[in-house]
Structure 1
Amino acid sequence: MSLGKRWLILSHGFNMDGRAASQTITDKIPYLLEAGIKPTVFSAITGIKDRRFPHQQFLAWGPAAFRFDFRHWIANQYGRGIFYKVTTGLVSLFLAPFIALEKLCLGYSSQWSWAMPAFVNGLKLIKNQEIDVIYSTGGAWSAHLAGLWLKKKTGLPWIAEIHDPLVIRHHPQDQGFDKPSNRDAQFRKYLERQICKYADDVWWFTDGALHYARTRNPVLNTLGGARGFMVLPGAEPPGGLYAAKPHTYSDKLNLCHFGSLANNRSLSTILNALTPLLKKYPEARQFMRVHAYGAPLDSLTIAAQSSFGFEEVLIAHGRLEKDPLTGKSGREQVLERMQAADVLILLHGDEEWCAEYIPSKFYEYLWTGRPIWAITHRNDQLDKMLQERGAYLSAEGDTNSVAKALEAIWLDWQSKQLIEPKWLPIGVDQAVKQILNDIDFNQQERQ
């Protein structure tokens, strides 16, 4: 017996700002609809309301989340001008003592209270026999909390999609068994246990995340617990791209990074490696260009740029907006820059949780057909996928491997023989197919 087709999708950030947590679920919707799923979506008011199916948006009931949601709603409705500054300032001032009290008494992340309206309104639909399956996805863990409450109250099938690890480990020997120091982390650990016990099916996005969750929760994949599995989320082809385009070499070697930067995911790693390269190949300075798109530079990158005098080497483009001359959207321009890049830079990070995390940008990069230079940290699954396709690969913190990769890129570019990766993109369609097949199989196993 298969699960019913009427799914209640709990997603706090649905249709919100093109964020990865939003795209992970919104990109699945066309394939779910194609499979006959009839969704009802509950989300915060921070995103754009979908008109293809019932989509209810709720303000969170806690003061911190209310302030966060209100700011985004005002920005979406009226922009970030004077009206935004005045209204959000007044609301923040009014809510300040209540937010302080909430933090003192609970100490949870701000969005936790969105679970309350999601639960109350979800319960109404279930009592009216309008829902067959509860599907929580996040991102924000409030969606899973609402899913847990609804499961316990109604007994309906509950499937959960975990974007990022709920328990953050701090070193390779740390399995996540120790009691976390702050209350939000303690609650996330409790929530992981509850998901592994009460959900019907739950999936993570990496082998590492599934491994550590199973280590902490032996009930997973037993008769008394949830069925857990791993799904590669994939990405939709940017701009409808379904084939790699022939590359045209220019008079510059363009290394391009797209997305956010931070001190633990910093282009300073590359600038530091560029210094010894220029000592060996001084002429490279006039040809080498490192481009940063989509976000401000992190402080380490800014310091390295200034220290080494790389103002002409590192070019920060920021967020690309609609071009009034060509009419091209920022997204269209990003796609063009990705395809034109000689090499795409993928920065993984340097924290232990990288073993359980694959950047969503990796899946977008695969659709461009351009070689990737990935600087990764303790993630064999990511390394294997890169090696299978052909990539420049370095280990985070290994200055020698970073320097060698940069030199290889320089020499390959000079001879116009940069790696031509295999065309093996990973789409969202395969993720939806696997999810539907696995939960259907698991449901039959339970009969």
Structure 2
Amino acid sequence: MSIEIPVVTEKKRWLILSHAFNMDGRAASLTITDKIPYFLEAGVEPIVFSAITGIKDQRFPHHQFIAWAPAGFRFDFRHWVANKYGRGWFYKLTTRTVSILLAPFIAIEKFCLGYSSQWSWALPAFFHGYRLIRAGKVDVVLSVGSAWSAHLAGVWLKKATGIELISEVHDPLVIRRNPNDQGFEKPLNRDARFRHYLENQLTCFSDKVWWFTDGALHYAKVRNPNLNTPTNARGFVVTPGAHPPGGLSANQAHKYTDQLNLSHFGSLANDRSLSTVLKALVPLFEKYPQARNLIRVHAYGAPLDSLSAEAIEQLGFSDVLLAHGRLEVDPTTGKSGRQRVAKKMQEADVLILLHGNDEWCAEYIPSKFYDYLWTGRPIWGITHRNPQLDQMLLERGAYLSAEGDSEGISIALERIWLDWQSKCLIEPIWNPIGVDQAVKTILTNVQARQKSL
């Protein structure tokens, strides 16, 4: 069912600041690029500023700038070379040469500032954005995370010109340490301390600012009471959703094979590790020895984290966990990385959703969750302190475990094994979350503010 999106009649010219844009398969890119068709349909006339790390869009003015500081320059250069020439010998030669030449300057930058590498992209974004605004070519600035340099440039432009600023915060800028930590204490880490400052700047200067989860908005309001003013409700929640990746359709009947394939897509880390699943396989294999040759865990999209690698070695599971890495464009078939991922998703028996074990999980939902909903495949969610995510999983039909509950995880895995054996895995309720609802929420809130002025 399509959602009617409000038509923009005033303030159509939007300058969109997004460090990652048109980067195949990357969540930070897809979250904004998937909205573009709906913005265009609503009458928005976008001008996009991004890094050189993605493919240049031809539908509207799209200007790509390289970061000005050495760490950001190296980061952007690597992706640019990979896009243009692949990751063969030329990539290795040029990127290593640039890294060696820039090493002393990067060391100085880290010593003096200590910020994440993309911070300096804010400099060209501000410089060129200021010129456009002064020339009268922009009505609204939209700053888009995840790289916080876009938000920094947006705040600078707001302060310098008074332009209307709206901001989309992907990941929490302030990372809390435990349930009792509200995030008031200034971190010792300089990058974290600057993000703490930047969150306050966004809440002060953005005319509208939104987060992706109820938890993220809640804690932002705790730290920034100005978001709570009833007459100036500038902060709200947008559920990002996703387009059907690779044209997925739930109408495709699932085919059981002679192996139970559990597949994980996306990044891995020690706080979001497949070792959780591997350890749960040990008691299952002891109870059902035949399962040892019938269960396979697939990892797509990222290198294995160190805990998963250690578990493979210690448990002798090199044939159980298969790491496929990142799926890029296939030059033979012409399929994009996203299309190849979509095919693998729909081939899985069960999709693994690892949430993590950090406190920030209370404010975060993995973007892959929204892709998963389009597959028509059951999801096994291993979640941590996020009632909103748990509710969305349970409403649609899913296997659900709590991170850290080893017994509960083992029970869920055994249930999956038994369901697969009897060919009665959970049939999820077809209720994906599209991008059109996110755009409607954004435009409704933005236009409500403009009409009130």
- Which of 182, 188, 198 is 1:191 aligned to? 198
Residue equivalent to 1:376: 383
Please list every run of 5 or more consecutive structure 1 residues that lacks an aligned counterpart in the other structure: none
Which amino acid in the other structure matches residue 381 of structure 2? A
Partners of 1:160 and 1:429 in 2: how far apart?
A: 18
What TM-score does the superposition give when structure 1 sets the normalisation length? 0.95
Residue equivalent to 2:67: 60
Partners of 2:81 and 2:333 in 1: how far apart?
A: 29
1:406-421 aligned at under 5 Å gives the runs: 406-421=413-428
Q: 1:92 to 1:48 in 2, by over 3 A?
A: same
Secondary structure of the structure 1 residue equivalent to 2:343: helix
The answer to whether residue 401 in structure 2 is matched with residue 390 in structure 1 is: no
1:253-272 aligned at under 5 Å gives the runs: 253-272=260-279
Residue equivalent to 2:210: 203
Deviation at 1:345, TM superposition (A): 0.6
Deviation at 1:327, TM superposition (A): 6.0
The answer to whether residue 84 in structure 2 is matched with residue 50 in structure 1 is: no
CA contact (8 A) 1:294 1:320 kept: yes
What do residues 72-101 of structure 1 show as CA deviations (whole Å, max 9, x unaligned)? 223323333444344333433333332222
CA contact (8 A) 2:351 2:377 kept: yes
1:269-418 aligned at under 5 Å gives the runs: 269-320=276-327, 328-418=335-425
Q: Please say which of residues 80-89 and 355-364 is displaced more in the overlay.
A: 80-89
Residue equivalent to 1:174: 181
Q: Please say which of residues 75-84 and 417-426 is displaced more in the overlay.
A: 75-84
What do residues 235-275 of structure 1 show as CA deviations (whole Å, max 9, x unaligned)? 11022224342222222221111222222211111111111
Secondary structure of the structure 1 residue equivalent to 2:270: coil
CA contact (8 A) 2:246 2:340 kept: no
Partners of 1:332 and 1:17 in 2: how far apart?
A: 10
CA contact (8 A) 1:266 1:298 kept: yes
Residue equivalent to 1:106: 113
Secondary structure of the structure 2 residue equivalent to 1:373: strand
Please list every run of 5 or more consecutive structure 2 residues that lacks an aligned counterpart in the other structure: 1-7
Partners of 1:273 and 1:157 in 2: how far apart?
A: 51
Secondary structure of the structure 2 residue equivalent to 1:367: coil
Q: 1:136 to 1:226 in 2, by over 3 A?
A: farther
CA RMSD of aligned residues (A): 2.0
Instruction: Report how many aligned residue pairs link the two structures.
Output: 446
CA contact (8 A) 1:9 1:134 kept: yes
- Which of 118, 122, 125 is 1:115 aligned to? 122
Q: 1:5 to 1:80 in 2, by over 3 A?
A: same
Partners of 2:300 and 2:74 in 1: how far apart?
A: 29
Q: Please say which of residues 250-259 and 315-324 is displaced more in the overlay.
A: 315-324
What do residues 90-147 of structure 1 show as CA deviations (whole Å, max 9, x unaligned)? 4333333322222222221121111111111111111111110010001111111111
CA contact (8 A) 2:171 2:364 kept: yes
What do residues 262-311 of structure 1 show as CA deviations (whole Å, max 9, x unaligned)? 22211111111111112222222232222222222222222222322233
Q: Please say which of residues 251-260 and 206-215 is displaced more in the overlay.
A: 251-260
What TM-score does the superposition give when structure 2 sets the normalisation length? 0.93
1:232-251 aligned at under 5 Å gives the runs: 232-251=239-258
Deviation at 1:315, TM superposition (A): 2.3
- Which of 5, 11, 14 is 1:4 aligned to? 11
Identical counterparts, % of pairs: 70
